[in-house]
Structure 1
Amino acid sequence: MANAPVPASAPVEKPAQQWELAAQWAQGWRVLKVAATVLVVIAFLMVIGQGYLFYRLFDDLHPMAGLVYIVALTAALAWLVGRPVAAFLSMPVAARPPDIVIDARAPDPKAIAARLRYDVRYLQMLAANPEVQAERAAIEAGIAKGRELAARAARATPEEALALSIDLQTFERVHVEALLAPLDKRVNQLIHAEAVGVGVATALSMNGTVDAFIVLWRNANLVAKISRIYFGRPHLMGSLRILRDVAAIVVAARALEDVTDITGDVIGSLLGRMGGLIAGPVMDGGINAMMTLKLGYLAKRRCRSFKGWTAVQASAISEEALEDVKQESGSVISDLLKRTGGLTAHASRATEKVLAGSRSAWELIRSWFGGNRPQGA
């Protein structure tokens, strides 16, 4: 009996080269992000250290004056920055959205059920928020409705999934988004006010280190207030990312002073001395205001924590934040110019008086030493 032919084993397929390159790129991108975060933290600590370098000025006057300065600066940082950061971290951790994407054309009943279970947890968290206690009955009704829909989705067939997907969208719009709308409005007003405040304060400040401390204080206060309104903050990594964003903006605000100084010098050579004195600081304030806007909208998105922050959605979230900044930027810059316009006008008149007074004083001094004396003196 002839031996039966042994079937040849299937050749082992090598992974496609593009997948290996994609994995290497993803690994490199993660390393790049970690390195960028480390650099931001180091630069942030250097900016904070610059404030303590002024200790030498006071210590040269008297050792006690230097000690008083160190104690006062540390107390100010603890009160203006440490207190808001501690308040932010003391907020309860918000329910983490599931990393699921529901296909609108062929939804998965299990994915719908998982999303509805999360919606119920989110409403339970919202029920503890002191800001929405007047809506407690509506929240309880939403929890009951969500549990009912989740039970339906758990036993649904794929044919019923499309109708359930529509019911899910309606449920989230009526029972969740409607409750969040008043909170969103308050947060948007807060972000606008803080952005204008940062812009005005840094426009009037003439020192980059002072600018950095103002941005640190106002932005730390902003994220603390946002988390308090939503009565929640993201998990540990999300919270660290928010604090990293604050640190990055502080570093950028410190570096921005040199750029706007150069811009002011250029504009001053074209439009005159007062044009340069005003244009540079106002540009500084405007850019700081825009950075505060973006930080506020990203912090809002993380503290609101209703929609997922997946790798697929990350780019869309950043684009959404930038779009919010674009829509709000015109109003913020308009308010910034209104509030700095009067101040710069007063500064301009005061400078003109000082310059006129200095010229008169100089003419008087010259007359004492036999200079050109006015006729009839």
Structure 2
Amino acid sequence: MKKQMKTVAAIAALAITILLIIVIINQAVQFSGVLATIHPLLGQISLILFVLVILTALLAPLYLYIRLPSRLIPPDSEEGPDYDRYMDKLSVRLSSNPKVSLEKVVSEEEIHLALKELDAESDLIIKKTAYRAFITTAISQNGALDALFILGLQFRLIWELARVYSQRPNLKELSFLYTNVMVTAFIASSLDEAEYFEILESSMSQGVGSVISMVPGTSLIVNSTITGSSNAFLTLRVGKVAQKYCNSLVRKERQTIRNSATTEAAKMLAGIIYDGTKKLVAHLGSAPIRMASRPFMRKDKGSE
């Protein structure tokens, strides 16, 4: 089924590309015809220039993509020459990474230490992004707008994590990372509805706790917390999937990455819900006070 979908998508993309090329060429020919009414030589020169520009626009990105250095591909096992070559290339990359405190990364132990430092750095980015997703969507409560915001936030998160592990990720690495993260985290999701709500319920019971127990009219806060928690969890899981693709020393199955990322995201969710709910309660609690004080603030400004 997946192969069929990929084939259909590839055919559709190729058809759209061909149609766009035809439209562009048609417009160029028409414009050259207009110039030819002024002088035939002018029309021929302009047509040649248009063809060269179109060919350059089509072939230059392909040439640059081919010229990019190949991405680091983890081997299938921790033994053999493929693993040794991969570790050598990885040690060179980690040695040039300014986020690694070690002067040189040579041995396997040093590689593990360097990756732990980068994992800690990436965890901070993942938590910060998930917290932002929680606060924004909990307050916004706009389904379509929130979906676009979360998608953009998660794409930016993947880019930031790629830069943590590889300071200058090339197009090949980014395309591989984006494709695999999105497929692993969304298209082939292993979470059913029951398991998903179980994770949210457990995290909310730990994270919310007594934060809203003393607040009257908590239904609005609870609904906002549920919305924010769902988006925060999805963002955490995307971040963890991307992290595991970036720090892997051997190739792992998508199911393994997905399950591990889900477990770690669930552990991080409670703290984000707790901190986010406190800020949400403070924001919603102070809103009536701010609204009630506005008339007096206007009077004070008017009296001045």
- Contact kept, 8 Å, 2:130 with 2:233, in 1: the verdict is yes
The answer for the alignment partner of 2:97 in structure 1 is 129
Counterpart-to-counterpart distance in 2, 1:274 and 1:350? 18
- Contact kept, 8 Å, 2:77 with 2:250, in 1: the verdict is no
Superposition map of 1:99-178 within 5 A: 100-101=76-77, 111-132=79-100, 134-136=101-103, 138-139=104-105, 141-142=106-107, 172=108, 174-178=109-113
TM-score by length of 2: 0.58
Counterpart-to-counterpart distance in 2, 1:317 and 1:302? 8
CA RMSD between the two structures: 3.5
Residues 69-119 of structure 1: CA deviation (Å, up to 9, x unaligned): xxxxxxxxxxxxxxxxxxxx9x97641112x236xxxxxxxx433312221
Q: Which has the higher contact order (CA 8 A, sep 6+)?
A: 2
Counterpart-to-counterpart distance in 2, 1:341 and 1:349? 13
Go from structure 1 to structure 2 and tell me whether the alpha carbon gap of 1:239 and 1:324 turns closer, same or farther (over 3 Å shift).
same
The answer for the alignment partner of 1:204 in structure 2 is 139
Go from structure 1 to structure 2 and tell me whether the alpha carbon gap of 1:245 and 1:210 turns closer, same or farther (over 3 Å shift).
farther
TM-score by length of 1: 0.47
Which of the residues 156, 161, 179 maps onto 2:114?
179
Which of the residues 100, 103, 125 maps onto 1:190?
125
Which of the residues 216, 228, 232 maps onto 2:151?
216
Amino acid at match of 1:326: A
- Between Structure 1 and Structure 2, how many residues are aligned? 206
- Contact kept, 8 Å, 2:77 with 2:83, in 1: the verdict is no
Which of the residues 72, 79, 92 maps onto 1:95?
72
- Matched residues, percent identical? 21
What 5-or-longer segments of structure 2 have no aligned partner?
11-64, 188-215, 294-304
- Contact kept, 8 Å, 1:200 with 1:340, in 2: the verdict is yes
Residues 213-266 of structure 1: CA deviation (Å, up to 9, x unaligned): 321332222112111111147464443233567887xxxxxxxxxxxxxxxxxx
Counterpart-to-counterpart distance in 1, 2:248 and 2:69? 12
Shift of 1:280: 1.9
Amino acid at match of 1:118: Y
- Contact kept, 8 Å, 1:94 with 1:305, in 2: the verdict is no
Which of the residues 245, 254, 278 maps onto 1:302?
245
Amino acid at match of 1:345: G
Give structure 1 regions of 4+ aligned residues with deviation exceeding 6 angstroms: 35-38, 245-248
Counterpart-to-counterpart distance in 2, 1:189 and 1:93? 29
Amino acid at match of 2:102: E
Counterpart-to-counterpart distance in 2, 1:36 and 1:202? 34
Amino acid at match of 2:229: G
Is 1:336–2:279 an aligned residue pair? no
The answer for the alignment partner of 1:230 in structure 2 is 165
The answer for the alignment partner of 2:231 in structure 1 is 288
- Contact kept, 8 Å, 1:200 with 1:336, in 2: the verdict is yes
